Amino acid sequence: MKKYDAIIVGAGPAGIFCAMELIKQNQEIDILMLEKGNSIEKRICPKRRTNKCVGCKPCNITTGFAGAGAYSDGKLSLSPEVGGELPEYIGYETTEELIKYVDEVYLGFGADSKIYGIDDMDKISVIRRKAIQSNLKLIECPIRHVGTEVGYDIYTKLQAYLLEKGVEIKFRNPVKEIIIEEGKAMGVKADSEYYGDNIIIGVGRDGSEWFDEICRTVNIETEVGKVDIGVRIECRNEIMKEINDVMYEGKLVYYTETFDDKVRTFCSNPGGVVATEIYDDNLAVVNGHSYKADTLKTNNTNFALLVSKGFTEPFKSPIAYGKYIAGLGNMLSGNKIIVQRYGDFRRGRRTTETRLVRNNIQPTLKDAVPGDLCLVLPYRIMKDIEEMIIALDNVTPGLASDETLLYGVEVKFYSNKIKVDENFETNIKSLYVMGDGAGITRGLMQASVNGVYTARKISNRV
């Protein structure tokens, strides 16, 4: 029976960079990577040609080599303050150093050298002043925009690199169980049983529910995590031009007047398109993408408004809570995404085809169903979103127009946060966790950094 030095579950950014760093530390290392989705070249979404989801199993948007990152806007946030909680685990300076290290890797594989948010400081100062006047916090984060299609090319090269270096990758091979003997992880069960000295879980948000169940089954120690619930906003590029041109993505945080809840902007896509993601249980949630090429740009900008909800005892199911709310939207729309004009949202009425057609702003998600998000979102979240839009209107005048579009539901699923030591090892010996699925990171860059850091800690022990 073959035994691997390391088995990596999940071929997203955390898994990819973990494998790359393990190889760098030891050229002779024997690595198996198991991924429930397709290889990068087979990750083809028919909807991009037909404007209709055909229900691929598994979804090629959320699973496969590079994870959801391959089809995202591909923004690399170059500040430790954005994209997760790694500084709390490894320190601010170490996170900053590893971001620079990982950024150089992305550049070496074809990322654009341009960085947004470091020039035109006078213009950024004006945006910051407007934000302060509206009780918004502007988080200044340099951003490298990779772009959906360029990101796909980069990850194609990364896949080829890993295969060339001898990493064994098994696609369409989801892990079902972790093999544990006497408190130590020995291997995993997928299409067969595979054994290894180090078992590394980097399943991403799509695998968070599966891993949550694994944690309960084998008693991996966790604490209740957060869930981000909200909507995706779409407006004309002209409304967001000041922020788009100077910063590409304006990261703004607001604590609402009524409930003091945290609301943040997330994943802005200038000239982008709104998209649907389908999870394993046929749950449709909304997301957004943006291409690098000008010929593929649209007239609209989209971004998420997310309300971060933490929970206390006895509640232990943030993922189920988020899926329940998204499921209500699916129930009303026939498993599609609901779109609503802000004017209708504010007035508590359903958007109709007639009102939508007369809009200046036309939806880029063509199969979105006009409807009423007020029948889906809890009142508290609705109120938080409305207050955030009003505050943002002072920074980007026109956002609170009746014609601005709200798509729902957008949910970011994170596992209950896994308790780990300084090596990202769980209470189960030789079982390591990393990335979004472990509740540690929330984006491409920090997930990639988490992979590098974990690999170095494992290499020190091998």
Based on the fold, state whether residues 433 and 369 are members of the same structural domain.
Answer: no
Based on the fold, state whether residues 266 and 329 are members of the same structural domain.
Answer: yes
pLDDT at residue 416 is higher than 70: no
- Strands 338-341, 369-370: pairing is parallel
pLDDT at residue 69 is higher than 80: no
**Three-class DSSP category at 200:** strand
In a domain, 116, yes or no: no
Based on the fold, state whether residues 334 and 193 are members of the same structural domain.
Answer: no
Q: What is the pLDDT of residues 4-46, one digit of tens each?
A: 999 999 999 999 999 999 999 999 999 999 999 999 999 887 7
Based on the fold, state whether residues 176 and 291 are members of the same structural domain.
Answer: no
pLDDT band at residue 462 using 50, 70 and 90 as cut-offs: low
In a domain, 94, yes or no: yes
In a domain, 253, yes or no: yes
* Residue 167: per-residue pLDDT: 97
Higher pLDDT, 442 or 262: 262
* Residue 48: per-residue pLDDT: 67
Local structure of residue 84 (DSSP, 8 states): B
Q: What is the pLDDT of residues 297-347, one digit of tens each?
A: 999 999 999 998 877 777 777 888 889 999 999 999 999 999 999 999 999
Based on the fold, state whether residues 191 and 297 are members of the same structural domain.
Answer: no
Q: What CATH number did the domain enclosing 431 receive?
A: 3.50.50.60
* Residue 61: per-residue pLDDT: 79
In a domain, 136, yes or no: yes
In a domain, 245, yes or no: yes
Q: What is the pLDDT of residues 107-126, one digit of tens each?
A: 999 999 999 988 888 999 99
Based on the fold, state whether residues 455 and 309 are members of the same structural domain.
Answer: no
* Residue 415: per-residue pLDDT: 60
Based on the fold, state whether residues 302 and 421 are members of the same structural domain.
Answer: no
From 405, 108, 368, 130, select the one nearest 246 (Cα to Cα): 130
By residue range, what is the domain housing residue 69? Answer: 3-111+146-223+417-459
Q: Are the CB atoms for 13 and 69 separated by under 8 Å?
A: yes
Based on the fold, state whether residues 324 and 349 are members of the same structural domain.
Answer: yes
Based on the fold, state whether residues 44 and 176 are members of the same structural domain.
Answer: yes
In a domain, 424, yes or no: yes
Average pLDDT, the chain: 92
In a domain, 16, yes or no: yes
Share of the chain above pLDDT 70, in %: 98
Q: Of how many residues is the chain composed?
A: 462
* Residue 274: per-residue pLDDT: 96
Q: What is the pLDDT of residues 82-102, one digit of tens each?
A: 989 999 999 999 999 999 999
Based on the fold, state whether residues 160 and 266 are members of the same structural domain.
Answer: no
Share of the chain above pLDDT 90, in %: 73
Based on the fold, state whether residues 166 and 233 are members of the same structural domain.
Answer: no
Local structure of residue 436 (DSSP, 8 states): G
* Count of domains forming the chain: 2
Q: List helix spans (H) across 260-414.
A: 318-333, 342-347, 353-357, 379-393
Q: What is the pLDDT of residues 127-157, one digit of tens each?
A: 999 999 999 999 989 999 888 788 889 999 9
* β-strand partners of 282: none
- 200 class by beta-carbon count within 10 Å (0-12 exposed, 13-18 middle, 19+ buried): buried
What's the mean pLDDT in 367-380? 97
Domain's final residue, options 412, 429, 446: 412
pLDDT at residue 209 is higher than 90: no
Q: How many Cβ atoms sit within 10 Å of the Cβ of residue 181?
A: 8
In a domain, 430, yes or no: yes
* Residue 22: per-residue pLDDT: 98
Based on the fold, state whether residues 217 and 235 are members of the same structural domain.
Answer: no
**Three-class DSSP category at 209:** helix
pLDDT at residue 223 is higher than 90: no
pLDDT band at residue 70 using 50, 70 and 90 as cut-offs: low
